[in-house]
Amino acid sequence: MGEKEKLFRRGIAEIKPYVPGKPIEDVQRELGLTEVIKLASNENPLGPSPKALQAMHAALETANIYPDGACTELAQKLGAKLNVDPSWIVFANGEDNIITLISKTFLNEGEEMIMADPSFSSFEISARAVGAKVVMVPVRPDFTTDLGALAAAITDRTKLIFLCNPNNPTGTISTRKEVEAFLDKVPEHTIVVLDEAYKEFVDDPEYPDGLNYVRAGRNVIVSRTFSKIYGLAGLRIGYAIGHPDFIGGMKRIREAFAANRIGQAGALAALDDDEFVKRVHDMNSAGRDYLYKEFERLGLPYVKSQTNFILVDTKQDIKRVFQDLQREGIIIRPGHIWNLPTYARVTVGTPEQNEKFIRALEKVLGL
């Protein structure tokens, strides 16, 4: 530890920082490529809806004015759409900021947070940053979250459980029956956070809506985002829904202007474009099916997904595959960061992008 690092809050120097998917611009600059396809960060390949784009362009004219810190209009519109009181909603600068806000609001130093392994790394980073103990529970061999093991890990020090459903990076879901049996085992001193960032892509009828548990008075907070199916990842609009006492605590410490003016305008308009959301969903479902068939043709095991990404076993050193695919103008997410040395997490793209990825993968793998 360097001399300056000794001034950090305890535990900060030991945290592994979040490493996002490699930017397109970096690959273009490093390899001299003009066309690069990014299938690494689960972004919407169709971009924002036309209605959202129009609203954001109009909002640029008032970019000199601070945004509504309470996101009042957006809370009212979203609350009406989801059938929850607006006071039960809090917005932030992306869902990862919501996760940080939850940890800062509820975790005391020395208390415990439980999560699946692998899952979204922001859960771990946010908890360690406030001095909490992180308990990692391995997923099952089929990559589904082991809710029985999560429940067995609860102690009298457990304050938070982060349950990513569908889970990132595995793409699997916990069913309604599994989640309800799990919640029945969670004591009153523990809050369950259901991260539902990929909810809108799910096709499985057994998938539970976390808002039902919030409405039922459970100690549950649901976190969601406009980054995925709505295509607003660059605008950073995330939100949480929970009991007003929980949400009130989060509002006490959130940033004064946590969601920017342009993003709020885009999110408001996006909520009106159900036709666009359906188009994204349907294209994604068709893209998943295409990639499944191609992986089967190539003899590559994969995990069936309920998201806009697929975890696939390349059967080769993923660090090399990652580098070789970049030379072909394709960026994927290498699985070694989750201790999966031959796996890749691949975002479902447009039909054209998916076909280019498969051709490049065949070449790189020598198949």
Residue 341, domain extent: 4-47+275-365
Give the domain-ending residue among 215, 247, 270.
270
**Total number of domains constituting the chain:** 2
Instruction: Examine the domain organization and report whether 339 and 266 are in the same domain.
Output: no
Euclidean distance between CA atoms 354 and 232, whole angstroms: 21
Distance (Å, whole) CA 55 – CA 27: 31
328 by Cβ neighbours in 10 Å (0-12 / 13-18 / 19+) ranks as middle
- What is the Cα–Cα distance from 28 to 24, expressed in whole angstroms? 6
Q: Is the pLDDT of residue 7 over 80?
A: no
Q: What is the pLDDT of residues 230-285, one digit of tens each?
A: 999 999 999 999 999 999 999 999 989 989 999 999 999 999 999 999 999 999 99
pTM of the predicted protein model: 0.93
Q: Are 197 and 96 in the same domain?
A: yes
Q: State residue 20's pLDDT score.
A: 67
Same domain, 218 and 266: yes
pLDDT single digits (tens) 75-134: 999 999 999 999 999 999 999 999 999 999 999 999 999 999 999 999 999 999 999 999
pLDDT-derived band at 30, boundaries 50, 70, 90: confident
CATH number at 341 reads 3.90.1150.10
248, 331: one domain = no
pLDDT of residue 23: 81
Taking 70 as the threshold, does the pLDDT of residue 18 lie above it? no
Task: List the CATH number of the domain containing 100.
Answer: 3.40.640.10
> According to the model, what pLDDT value does residue 19 have?
66
Clarify whether residues 266 and 296 are in a common domain.
Answer: no
Are 195 and 283 in the same domain?
no
Percent of the chain with pLDDT over 90: 89
d(CA 170, CA 344): 10
Q: Tell me the backbone φ, ψ of residue 120, rounded to 5 degrees.
A: -65, 120
